[in-house]
């Protein structure tokens, strides 16, 4: 009797360095049935947002094409996951289901239920580490506790090293023709209104797109990474975050390729840049570590004092922030880049998050939710860690008194104003001296640039100095 195994794809949309796929191919099976199951209800409030769905639409098409090139095909079903797997087991005669592990709370809960159900049906199950270098339960302090600070966490794990990535299979078994499938179109992942064109023009989802992006970064940007990664007007970062989120490339592949590249190109200075880049992979690991050990943090602050923080509830300010109409150029540029491309430079993520949570004193959960819906790389672990860091209430959080001045951020990291001019074209003709503080520009400079504050570009919706003081006063109320 032929033995078949179901390979359950989730956020591991690649064929190379896919441990569940490799185990399925190396096992005692005659056939492998790859399946993707659409089951957003199982993820509750954290089902993929609009920008993520656009990405997933293209990524599934890329995976389907890659499987077909190897002689296989992608079977697509709708959830619930247990029902979909039961049906596919009956249709295929599969005796096993393999998958790669994920670490967000609702997925862990779902996967435990799936495993228990399949075990009761005498279906073999196996799961594998594919999306992290170090699983959260394998890392702890000397006191046996999870880490809450990045530096000692990364110091503890970065010396462990990592195995070489698994190769992509050369061929895969044909999937039985009688096994039906939905098409990617049937999942209706794209938007009903045509707002996604610029996202699709900006990105190339899929495994090939991920590796192309990595190679471009290594060849064009790594050697200046420490200097350029904070400058949003230049392509100084890797832009790998959405590819990592969807598992189109693994962190092990990234670091392994980095090591190979350094062997061919690396001098001392380049290696220093490479160490800085590697630490960003470390931050991703740390984010998943924190989320696993503190699963309530997507909605509740890690620092319990912030349960009583006097947030302003400024709905008008939140709306202006979302629309990039705050009158603060660096904030508006970041928010408009986000809306247009599904992405925002990390320097801007910190800047706009500080502005929302401290200058406007809008609760961080509102910003977290907006990012979730608009970022192509929205990842629950990274998103939660970043917003709690900015608000001062999470792991390794910025001290509450560290409040980014967005005008100074612009003057420091966008000194020529190129980034603001690109995303806030109303200010394009304003000179670099005043572009980050148009409210302080002399009337003559505004007139020559064709700017009328309050008409062609908003007046600031908040006074930066006064709102900073109010934020510090609010913190004093919960400090002890």
Residues 366 and 256 in one domain: no
pLDDT tens-digit map of 148-184: 999 999 999 988 888 899 999 999 999 999 999 999 9
pLDDT at 429: 97
364 is catalytic: yes
Mapped onto helix, strand or coil, the DSSP state of residue 113 is helix
Pick from 115, 130, 145: which residue ends a domain?
130
pLDDT at 219: 93
What are the phi and psi torsion angles at 395 (to 5°)? -70, 135
In a domain, 172, yes or no: no
Residues 227 and 215 in one domain: yes
List 91, 311, 411, 439, catalytic entry: 311
Residues 110 and 226 in one domain: no
List 65, 176, 346, 411, catalytic entry: 346
476 is catalytic: no
Residues 341 and 262 in one domain: no
346 is catalytic: yes
List 387, 405, 423, 426, catalytic entry: 387
CB-CB contact of 413 with 230 (8 Å): yes
Residues 415 and 277 in one domain: no
311 is catalytic: yes
Q: Which residues contact 107 (CB under 8 A, 6 or more apart)?
A: 10, 42, 43
Q: CATH number, domain at 414?
A: 1.10.579.10
Range of the domain at 215: 132-164+206-293
pLDDT at 265: 83
Pick from 234, 263, 293: which residue ends a domain?
293
In a domain, 48, yes or no: yes
In a domain, 174, yes or no: no
In a domain, 187, yes or no: no
Pick from 110, 130, 150: which residue ends a domain?
130
In a domain, 190, yes or no: no
In a domain, 189, yes or no: no
Residues 50 and 158 in one domain: no
Residues 248 and 153 in one domain: yes
pLDDT tens-digit map of 294-353: 999 999 999 999 999 999 999 999 999 999 999 999 999 999 999 999 999 999 999 999
Instruction: Give per-10-residue mean pLDDT for the chain (480 aa).
Output: 90 98 95 97 95 97 98 98 98 97 97 98 97 96 96 92 92 94 96 83 96 96 92 94 98 96 82 93 97 97 94 96 98 97 95 97 98 97 96 83 93 97 98 97 97 97 97 89
Residues 123 and 140 in one domain: no
CB-CB contact of 141 with 168 (8 Å): no
Residues 70 and 95 in one domain: yes
Token pair recorded at residue 258: 């980095």
pLDDT at 189: 95
C-alpha 66/C-alpha 247 separation (Å) is 15
Q: CATH number, domain at 103?
A: 3.40.50.620
List 203, 261, 364, 370, catalytic entry: 364
List 55, 99, 261, 283, catalytic entry: 283
pLDDT at 308: 92
Residues 366 and 349 in one domain: yes
Residues 375 and 455 in one domain: yes
List 91, 124, 280, 470, catalytic entry: 280
pLDDT at 266: 65
In a domain, 197, yes or no: no
Mapped onto helix, strand or coil, the DSSP state of residue 35 is strand
In sequence order, what DSSP letters do the residues of 217-257 get, joined into one string? Answer: HHHHTGGGHHHHTT-TTS--S---HHHHHTTSS-HHHHHHH
In a domain, 173, yes or no: no
CB atoms within 10 A of CB 432: 15
Residues 278 and 373 in one domain: no
What total number of domains does the chain contain?
A: 3
C-alpha 248/C-alpha 66 separation (Å) is 12
């Amino acid at each position: 009797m032929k033995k078949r195994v179901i390979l359950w794809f989730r956020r591991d949309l690649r064929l190379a360095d896919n441990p569940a796929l490799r185990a399925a191919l190396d096992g005692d099976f005659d056939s492998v049935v790859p399946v993707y199951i659409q089951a957003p209800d199982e993820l509750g409030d954290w089902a993929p947002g609009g920008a993520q769905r656009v990405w997933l639409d293209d990524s599934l098409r890329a995976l389907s094409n890659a499987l077909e090139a190897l002689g296989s095909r992608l079977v697509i079903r709708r959830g619930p996951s247990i029902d979909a797997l039961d049906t596919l087991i009956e249709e295929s005669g599969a005796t096993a289901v393999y998958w790669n592990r994920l670490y967000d709370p609702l997925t862990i809960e779902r996967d435990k239920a799936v495993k228990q159900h399949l075990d009761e049906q005498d279906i073999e199950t196996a799961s594998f580490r594919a999306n992290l270098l170090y699983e959260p339960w394998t890392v702890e302090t000397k006191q046996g506790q999870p880490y809450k600070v990045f530096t000692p966490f990364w110091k503890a794990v970065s010396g462990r090293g990592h195995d070489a990535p698994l190769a992509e299979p050369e061929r895969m078994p044909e999937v039985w023709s009688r096994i039906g499938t939905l098409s990617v179109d049937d999942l209706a992942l794209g938007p009903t209104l045509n707002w996604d064109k610029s996202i699709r023009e900006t990105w190339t989802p899929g495994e090939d797109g991920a590796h192309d992006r990595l190679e471009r970064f290594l060849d064009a940007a790594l050697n200046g990474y420490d200097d350029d990664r904070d400058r949003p007007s230049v392509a100084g970062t890797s832009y790998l975050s959405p590819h990592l989120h969807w598992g189109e490339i693994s962190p092990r592949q990234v670091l392994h390729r980095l090591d190979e590249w350094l062997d061919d190109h690396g001098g001392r200075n380049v290696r220093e840049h490479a160490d800085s880049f590697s630490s960003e992979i470390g931050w991703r690991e740390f984010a998943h570590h924190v989320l696993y050990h503190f699963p309530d943090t997507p909605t509740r602050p890690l620092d319990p004092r912030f349960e009583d923080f006097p947030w302003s509830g400024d709905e008008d300010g939140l709306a202006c922030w979302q629309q990039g109409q705050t009158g603060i150029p660096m904030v508006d540029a970041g928010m408009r880049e986000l809306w247009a491309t599904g992405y925002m430079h990390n320097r801007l993520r910190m800047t706009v998050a500080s502005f929302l949570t401290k200058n406007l004193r809008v609760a961080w959960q509102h910003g977290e939710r907006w990012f979730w819906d608009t970022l192509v790389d929205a990842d629950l672990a990274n998103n939660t860690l970043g917003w709690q860091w900015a608000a001062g209430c999470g792991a390794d959080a910025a001290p509450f008194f560290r409040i980014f001045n967005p005008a100074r951020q612009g003057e420091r990291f966008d000194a020529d104003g190129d980034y603001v001019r690109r995303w806030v074209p109303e200010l394009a003709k304003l000179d670099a001296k005043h572009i980050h503080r148009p409210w302080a520009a002399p009337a003559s400079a505004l007139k020559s640039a064709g700017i009328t504050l309050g008409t062609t570009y908003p007046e600031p919706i908040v006074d930066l100095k006064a709102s900073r003081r109010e934020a510090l006063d609010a913190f004093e109320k919960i400090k002890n």
